[in-house]
Chain A
Amino acid sequence: MSDDSIGRAELQDAARKAFGEGGLGQDPATIWDLIVEMGWLGMTVPEELGGLGLGAEAQGVIHFELGRILAPGPVAAHMMVIEALVKAGRQDLIERAVAGELMTGSLRFATATEAGGTLSGTLNAVPDADTASELLVVTDSRVLLLPIGTNGITLTERPLWDKSRRLFDVTLSGVSADAGVELAGSNTASDLVAALKAHLLFALSADSLGGAEAALDMSVEYLKTRRQFDRPLAMFQALKHRAADMKTILASAEALLWTHASEGRTAPVTQPVKAGALKAHAARVYHAITEEAVQFHGGIGLTEEHQCHLYLKRATLNEALGGGADLWEEQAGRQIAAALLATA
């Protein structure tokens, strides 16, 4: 425990120094270059494959900090692709990806269909597809990596309320499957997809709680500064109690996040479902805190001049990415109930 926490604290410190407190509003290229330069894209890549060889906890710290500064860009999708490359042992591609060549994929686990050697379908929620070089494509039986410029692939940007992310619909129409590299075949594809889901859902959980922490800090500071009725708003018990509730749900969600990262507990559910339940919980907490944050800020919270609406928008997007709470909570409920009843 203590060794892990020291590692976590040090990494967090490094990330806060790198991103700075003024990270908000940095342009996507600056953040991307910074992350590449620190080697963080290779955070969980084993050392023999040229990465830092750190575990899920380190991955969590980076996404937590990216969430905290509302970092724009495709880091979560890109690291999911890197995870696929690691599992497939593709060192050549890993090197290119860790060096910053963008590879992207659907943040909704959308799949394509393969028939007669061609791929078709629409992959939604694909970040920064216009600047990416490669696209992760999952079919019923395979996982492929395709150059995004392959004939038959068209990109349509879908502008979001959340301006910190740029998502595309990527349509595949008569795309030759031979244009891609196979990362998993029929024997291993379902395991790989499960691992990628768990990976991304954990990243989204950390992103959510980093954002939630920033939104709560910002709100408490605002309540201390803003004066009405000849006193700081932070003196009113009605507001203090709401802030205390937010702090409490954040603390326990964070404890769950780090427990998940260290695998300290083995829940009776499969990995993606466990990560899905975590994501549903974390995004719910993020939403609750940012919904309160706007209310705490009053009129200024309702304007684009203040930052807190940015957190609210990213929170609701995070609730949807990777599949919503309805999906994951039901799956978790079914698996946990089955496991408990099997041993009861």
Chain B
Amino acid sequence: MAEASELETLRNEVRAWLVANAPATWRQESIDPDAFFRIQRDWFLKLVEGGYAVPHWPAEWPGGGRSLAEQKVIYEEMARADTPRLLLSFVSTYHAASTILECASKEQQERYLPAILKGETWCQGFSEPGAGSDLAGLRCRAERRGDVYVINGQKIWSTIAQYADKCLLLVRTSNEKAKQAGMTFLLCDMKTPGITVRPINQIHGDEEFAEIFFDEVEIPVSERIGAEGDGWAVAQATLASERGLTLLELSERMRGALVRIATLIRDTGRLDDAGVMRDFGRLATSVDATCALADQFLAWRIAGEEQVGQASLIKLRYSRVLREFTLLGLRLDDMDAQYHAPITFGGGMETGNWMADFMNSYAWTIAGGSDEVQRNIISERMLAMPREPKNWTIQGDAA
């Protein structure tokens, strides 16, 4: 771990760089998806240029080789400067990069990683209508025909797939053994004939997710990662790619956003309302506790003491406190929150409209492993409570 003084030097460097380079008016400008993604693309390229886009990549890549403690400093400063969150490049720089770095061939690495730094974007094709929390139940089929796999099926909840160039695709190549054993991991070009993308309107109107339909889509066998049937293991590398750091940044952003509630209390003349101040004090303490847990998790990782389930603790704590945060804003904003307002795309829980923020908080209780999945992990892996039996029947169930 770097010395405290080195971290302070880095902090000052990042802060100065952000003052000179961070986009200041992105919230006002993000009025539609196109504007938002243009801002995202420009900001990402600027970060690449400044050397702060991929601090978690290995040292041989430009901007990489930062320790966890250094990454933390960088994310804290970005949260502090209220820069746009990197939604567009998030899957590219974390999920795609870590899968490719850990499991792909040298040739695949050289083909895909430099393109990511030039702005190529990836989406993740894992979930399906019948395979959400139970990902191993996926059915999107890949059939080997000579040098290609032919894909037929559907993926869903794929974040910003409608803007992606490439896709991390988990498909079924066999039904013969255990569910996990029949999966294969492919890299798919989204421009391949036979692919149709349909954006999904979320409950607040934003189109963050999409469905992807595959109709006789041909993917060369050379685009496979790992062996045929090893897809499940490769997918674990994808899913483990950003344990904790994102939530550290998000927790800090939530702390930074407490001022929005304080301002709302002031502007509605309730700074002397004991009940309101009590609710605010309780929320602020819960936010502090969430940040403390995220810090603690990072300290565990740095010390090599990370244990299974700790990442789930933070995800679950963050998602619940974010819900409380948005609900307090919603309540305090009273009727004003009920009037429909155009939202800031990609604003997360800071769109400026409390109803939109409240609705968006569901993204954190459902996506990326729902609260229920996190609770299973915590109870089974940390508290050693037994799994439920796999076999069951319901009387009268014809299936």
Contacts and interface: CB of A to CB of B under 8 A. Distances in A.
A12 B146 CA distance: 63
Given A224-B385, A241-B379, A280-B285, A337 B292 contact: no
B313 A252 contact: yes
Given A243-B379, A249-B317, 15 more contacts: A220-B383, A235-B388, A240-B375, A240-B383, A241-B375, A243-B383, A248-B313, A251-B293, A258-B296, A264-B295, A267-B288, A277-B288, A333-B277, A337-B262, A344-B263
Interface in A150-195: none
A332 B284 contact: yes
B317 A334 contact: no
Contacts of A252: 286, 289-290, 292-293, 313, 317
A137 interface: no
A342 to B, nearest CB: 10
Question: Nearest 8 A-B pairs (CB), nearest first?
Answer: A333-B281, A332-B281, A333-B277, A240-B379, A255-B292, A244-B375, A244-B378, A329-B281
B375 A333 contact: no
Contacts of A239: 385
B387 interface: yes
B265 A223 contact: no
B376 interface: yes
Interface string A219-248: 010011000000110111101110111011
B374 A329 contact: no
Interface residues of A, number: 49
B376 A237 contact: yes
B164 to A, nearest CB: 33
* Highest count of chain B CB atoms <10 Å: which of A220, A237, A244, A341: A244
A265 interface: yes
Interface of B: 258-259, 262-263, 265-266, 271, 274, 276-282, 284-286, 288-293, 295-296, 299, 302-303, 313, 316-317, 320, 372, 374-376, 378-380, 382-389
Question: Chain A: interface secondary structure?
Answer: helix
Nearest to A279: B285
A259 B259 CA distance: 22
Interface of A: 1-2, 5, 220, 223-224, 231-232, 234-237, 239-241, 243-245, 247-249, 251-253, 255-256, 258-259, 264-265, 267, 277-278, 280-281, 325-326, 328-334, 336-337, 340-341, 344
Nearest to B303: A2
B300 to A, nearest CB: 9
Contacts of B303: 1-2, 5
Contacts of B265: 337
Contacts of A333: 276-282, 284
A331 B372 contact: no
A249 B282 CA distance: 14
Nearest to A325: B282
Nearest to B69: A1
Contact of B380 (A240, A265, A277, A334): A240
Contacts of B290: 252
Contact of A235 (B277, B296, B386): B386
Nearest to B277: A333
B280 A281 contact: no
Nearest to B272: A334
A337 B280 contact: yes
A264 B281 CA distance: 20
B250 to A, nearest CB: 14
Contact of B385 (A2, A220, A258, A280): A220
Contacts of B372: 241
Contacts of A249: 317
